[in-house]
Structure 1
Amino acid sequence: MYDPIFAKSFTKYERKRFGFCALILSLIIALSICSIFKPHLHPLSVIGDAFDLQLSINAVEDMIINDDTVLNYEPKVNNAAENLPLSITSSDNTLSVNDTSALISESIGSNAAENLPLSITSSENTLIVNDTSTLILQPIVKKITEPICRTLEGGADYCDIEGDIRVEANSSTIFVVTNDHESISNSTNSWSIQPYPRKGIAFVKHWTVKLVRYDDVNIPKCTQNHRTPAILFSIGGYSGNHFHDFADLLFPLYTTSFHYKREVHFLASDYKSWWVPKFPELLNKLTKHEILDIDREKAEIHCYNKIVAGLKFQRELIMDQSSLMHNFRQLLRETYSLERKKTVRTRKGDGRKPRLMIISRKRTRILTNEGEVSKVAKKLGFEVVLAEAGVSTNLRSFAQMVNSCDVLMGIHGAGLTNMVFLPDNAILVQLVPLGGIDIFARLDFGNPASGMNIRYMEYKIATKESSLSRRYSIDDLVLKDPMSFHRKGWETLRSVYLDNQNVTIDIRRFKGTLVKALKLIRH
């Protein structure tokens, strides 16, 4: 009924114009609907079926380079393309990349598209690789921003290394493989180190840590690959001396390795077959693996992702992080079944006598009247134990004996190292020989004692108490100017004041020290 009205209102020409516009509008609407609902098609997807390469996380290990453009990927799901806000197309041997701001990567695997010139498109959850001719695959290594090796506060060489690491015992070299050309060309790429806390010791092997390019044909090939990190250290130096065993090796080994929770390899240079059996229980608390005599691995190339060369060392038996010594002493208690964590305060008349251990020396710095000292101590109320730990002494039983005591006393020397087994709040009494030995006495035992929660006392030997007073005249430089012998070097100092001096204590003078120690135990 509306056609006649429409015909009367418009001319024939105007009605044709309306019809033509309606047709155009209908076509536009139809095309819009089709573009919304049709599936995504890409012209390269058909060609790409010939290659149809999906890159998974495990395959993504190499860096794709096209001229000056580097594409890096760090996939977080099974398909490399998932969640990538990009499109990459190939045209005339070039890559066109849109929105690469979110592309971050470690590497693309050498097997992902080895030797394939390619282009990449991102479609849903897949990466499609198609033929181009200018792409090169290269491994990537973490950029080196800090020196690999450094000298610690205490003077020790220390290297903390991550990446592709190869240990060649035959040349005493640690190769660090990298493709960071800038680091190799613009910085030091070779370090000579001694993996022992004290530097300049003749009988400690030197090792070389060397940065090399991944394409260097002289890089040794791995014969053994390890997933566990490693620590390289030397058992040379002064090992075998009880003090240096703990100060230079055991405590630094603990501070360097404890956070690995036993999942670490110990690579021992300058290996001594008798040293490891001295501390089997303690070393087993630090690593679950057999300690490797690395110098003998001449035919092997051991490869790691992480290695530490050298040991953390600050000062003798001291680290700034005080909890380290506290935790180390707790480890000793667990290892050697030491029952006493803390001394028990005693009172006169309660029936329990505090125990005093006197370290008895038989070769050098002998306390010639230790019998008299022992007798006076007993009269004052101590239970006295005379002991000296020898090479054949069972460490477990000796540690338990020390742990049962409240006071440890002795002339400056390695025997005082046994203070590590004392309970908290115990007392260390150090007899300091003549000859300006005070600085060594405090450095080796006085300062570390406070970090162990042990109270420290020292008794300085008077001239008349030293055997040197009977060997030299009162005007001799040995007695008059000990520092002149210090200036002549350690060997001269040791020969005069440590190896050839015995002590005869003035009992009346020393009695006051014993009384003070007794009061500290009882209060």
Structure 2
Amino acid sequence: MLEKLLAKCCVKLERKRVGLWVLFSFVLVTVSLCTVLKSYMDPLPIWEINLRRLNSNNKNTVKLVPHDSFEPFLAPMCNFSGEKSDYCEFNGDIRIHGNSSSIFFSSPQLENIELQENRTWGIKIYARKTDEHVMGQVKELLLKPVLSVQEMPKCTVNHSVPAIVFSTGGYGGNIFHDTSDILIPLYLTSLHFNREVQFLIQDKHYYWNERHEVTLKALSKYEIIDLNHDKEIRCFNNAIIGVQSHQDFGIDPEKLPYGLTLRNFTQFIRKIYSLQRDTAIQITAEDDRKPRLLIISRKKTRTILNEDKIVAEAQRLGYDVEVIDARMSLKNFSKIVNSADVMLGVHGAGLTNILYLPENAVLIQVIPIGLQSVSKIFYERPAKNMSLKYLEYEISVKESSLIQQYPIKHQVITDPEIAKKAGWPEFKKIYMDNQDVRLDMSNFRTVLVKALELLRQ
């Protein structure tokens, strides 16, 4: 009996001991967790709450409003009237958090304006704002006006020079769009800072800085910041969000900054690339130098199938001919183009390299079927505005490879305007991606002769 009583007592004591150990362990774990998580349990500063709201997918926390509702509010600071781009210029306290694509700003211009809580505006800064297809691929920047310093994130880097935020998204990587949509607008927006400006790039292509290093360094002497991978809170007293853009591959001297022309831009380009020739050769009876003809060769699309015959005919007419593929570093390629007096190529991005030609040189643009209107807009007008001489050769139906794909009376050949109604991707596929040319040499020879005549003037 005594043994049974002792056994019961021991069991009860053992159970109590286990219970006490469980309670002690629970208290110890709780205290440890509170110590470790103390910093996370403190109230968040207002700016961090706002920042989290900006990045939240909950549509009830942040209201992004369309342009027509914030244009009046931001009218003193922003310009939404341009055909190609929107941009804002803020003065005051501007704090940029690249990793979240968020820009907080407090400006004297916000005084006497009643701000609604959590009101945030979205803006896309790639300079092709009417192109719905490409703008759908461009990341949106979030603009957050604030009145209280507490609502601003704490600066981690302070900058003493103004900022320009621009995008290389969209069609960035194509030499025409790099020049038309990014470099010329950046030149217009930043030139007056005399290199005392900090560039911040949104949607940066991995090779973009290296490819356009010469131009970027000529416009800013500071290391470019990649917004998409920047975790700092960068603070500025002046910032331009977006760039000015006037027209495709062009500058309107009647718009800000007044008086600048495309010719000014090409002079700037020749200077920063240290190109030697400002003007092309002028042929005279006493001068026995051969004019230099540069043929921009295309290998994949809109190829000249009888390129060798053009070379032979040009040499018979007295040209020094070089055929080149535009896919090389701009430092080297710019010098080759600058050495030419006549440049020949089928409509395409490669013709953008007329930037490096000396003035009074001749551009010969070969225009495939369906590309008449874009050819004139993209290269005829710019060439003339650069003080170049312009010739074009519009091919006939028989000179197009499309006749091998479609019957001669098919609407693709007879009426390209109908194909446009199917949308740009389909139009591009037919006329740009799947069309080559075979030039009629008896007809094209007259263009080569005309170019010689222009060099004699």
The one-letter amino acid of 1:183's match is I
User: 2:121, 2:345 → 1: CA distance?
Assistant: 42
Q: Secondary structure at the match of 1:458?
A: strand
Tell me the alpha carbon deviations over residues 97-151 of structure 1, each in whole angstroms, 9 at most, x when there is no partner.
Answer: xxxxxxxxxxxxxxxxxxxxxxxxxxxxxxxxxxxxxxxxxxxxxxx88343332
Percent identity of equivalent pairs: 41
1:342-381 aligned at under 5 Å gives the runs: 342-348=279-285, 350-381=287-318
User: 2:390, 2:362 → 1: CA distance?
Assistant: 6
Is 1:396 equivalent to 2:331 in the alignment? yes
Give the equivalent residue in structure 1 for 2:48.
none
The one-letter amino acid of 2:366's match is L
**Mapped contact 1:184–1:211 kept (Cα < 8 A):** no
The structure that is helix-richer by fraction is: 2
Give the equivalent residue in structure 2 for 1:232.
165
User: 1:184, 1:250 → 2: CA distance?
Assistant: 38
Give the equivalent residue in structure 1 for 2:403.
469
Is 1:220 equivalent to 2:149 in the alignment? no
How large is the Cα RMSD of the aligned pairs? 1.9
Give the equivalent residue in structure 2 for 1:162.
91
User: 1:178, 1:261 → 2: CA distance?
Assistant: 25
1:306-317 aligned at under 5 Å gives the runs: 306-317=238-249
User: 2:287, 2:98 → 1: CA distance?
Assistant: 62
1:282 to 202, 207, 215: 215
**Taking structure 1 as the reference length, what is the TM-score of the superposition?**
0.68
Give the equivalent residue in structure 1 for 2:75.
146
The one-letter amino acid of 1:206's match is E
How much has 1:348 moved relative to structure 2?
A: 4.4
The one-letter amino acid of 1:191's match is W
Is 1:412 equivalent to 2:347 in the alignment? yes
**Taking structure 2 as the reference length, what is the TM-score of the superposition?**
0.78
Q: Secondary structure at the match of 2:284?
A: coil
* Structure 1 unmatched runs, 5+: 1-143
Alpha-carbon spacing, 1:486–1:471, altered in 2? closer, same or farther (3 Å): same
User: 2:272, 2:74 → 1: CA distance?
Assistant: 40
**Mapped contact 2:103–2:143 kept (Cα < 8 A):** yes
The one-letter amino acid of 1:225's match is N
How much has 1:375 moved relative to structure 2?
A: 1.1
User: 1:178, 1:260 → 2: CA distance?
Assistant: 21
Tell me the alpha carbon deviations over residues 456-484 of structure 1, each in whole angstroms, 9 at most, x when there is no partner.
Answer: 11111110100001211122111122111
Q: Secondary structure at the match of 1:323?
A: coil
Give the equivalent residue in structure 2 for 1:87.
none
Give the equivalent residue in structure 1 for 2:264.
327
2:424 to 486, 490, 498: 490
How much has 1:206 moved relative to structure 2?
A: 0.5
User: 1:284, 1:170 → 2: CA distance?
Assistant: 24
**Mapped contact 1:191–1:208 kept (Cα < 8 A):** yes
**Mapped contact 1:165–1:176 kept (Cα < 8 A):** yes
**Mapped contact 1:266–1:287 kept (Cα < 8 A):** yes
User: 2:369, 2:89 → 1: CA distance?
Assistant: 43
Alpha-carbon spacing, 1:344–1:152, altered in 2? closer, same or farther (3 Å): farther
**Mapped contact 2:91–2:107 kept (Cα < 8 A):** no
Whose RCO is larger (CA < 8 A, sep 6+)?
2
How much has 1:157 moved relative to structure 2?
A: 1.7
User: 1:160, 1:326 → 2: CA distance?
Assistant: 27
**Mapped contact 1:255–1:324 kept (Cα < 8 A):** no
Specify the structure having the higher radius of gyration (Cα).
Answer: 1
* Structure 2 unmatched runs, 5+: 1-72, 254-258
Give the equivalent residue in structure 1 for 2:106.
177
How much has 1:181 moved relative to structure 2?
A: 4.5
Alpha-carbon spacing, 1:184–1:515, altered in 2? closer, same or farther (3 Å): farther
Query: Would you say how many aligned residue pairs link Structure 1 and Structure 2?
Result: 374
Tell me the alpha carbon deviations over residues 18-41 of structure 1, each in whole angstroms, 9 at most, x when there is no partner.
Answer: xxxxxxxxxxxxxxxxxxxxxxxx
How much has 1:246 moved relative to structure 2?
A: 1.2
